[in-house]
Amino acid sequence: MNAAPADQLRLLDLADLDAQVAQTEQARRNPPQAGRVKELLEERQAQNRVLGERQGVVDDLKAELGRIEADVLVVDARQRRDTALLQTVSNPKDAAGLEHELASLVRRRSDLEDAQLEVMERLEEAEAEVAQQEALLATIGEEGARLSAEAKAVVADATERIARLERDRAAVSGSIPTDLVGMYERLRTRSAGAALLRARTCGGCHMVLSGTDLGTLRQTPPEAVATCPECGCILVRTSESGL
């Protein structure tokens, strides 16, 4: 294929725009915050499980405390009943039995109060651990929300930039002969599409051309479209090519 050297040179602008589009599209699909956001999501799931376990401990202790408090109420009721009966009983044996039971109830109530105090202390510690875990999750949530907002801003900026680049690309592409653009598009599926040959080095694959290949290029007319023998992209030749 033949094409004016000026048209071949404009392929470099097209290739540069395509490279910018690809780079910006990569940023849009994978904003720099995405990795950390993913880590935070996984960490939040793990810490939520810890919170569930700690909340379960709190619930169990509250249930245990409730049972103790219910037992205290039962003991109190029996103490009031036995005290009232003791005021009315006349049989010494019955009175002794009530007194013995009242003494047992006093011991029982003391044991319950000790158990109640112990459970209340454990409950206080467990609730502190829950509050600590909730604070940790809040911190994770705040960081995640901030990074998500930043990522959305990056995506929005990238989307706007891609739109501008595609408009510029359409203008450049429209200024180049259709058949040359078609060749560039075909080659772009497996290479840079077009690259500058500078100092005997292909700008697409960065390979230094052999003496034989350079000799062939020297004999190739400027209007003939040449390709890199290594990567296959269109080689744009200028005074910098080292030919």
pTM of structure: 0.68
Q: What is the pLDDT of residues 40-98, one digit of tens each?
A: 999 999 999 999 999 999 999 999 999 999 999 999 999 999 898 888 888 888 888 88
Residue recorded with tokens 């694959």: 205
CATH 3.30.70.260: does it fit domain 27-174? no
Output 110-118 pairs: Cβ under 8 A, ≥24 positions apart: 112/68, 112/71, 112/72, 112/75, 113/72, 115/68, 116/65, 116/68, 116/69, 116/72
Domain boundaries, the chain: 5-20+177-237, 27-174
Residue 64 to residues 10, 105, 116, 123: CA-CA distances in angstroms?
Answer: 81, 20, 9, 10
Mean pLDDT, the chain, integer: 94
Please state, as a whole number, how many other Cβ atoms lie within 10 Å of the Cβ of residue 208: 12
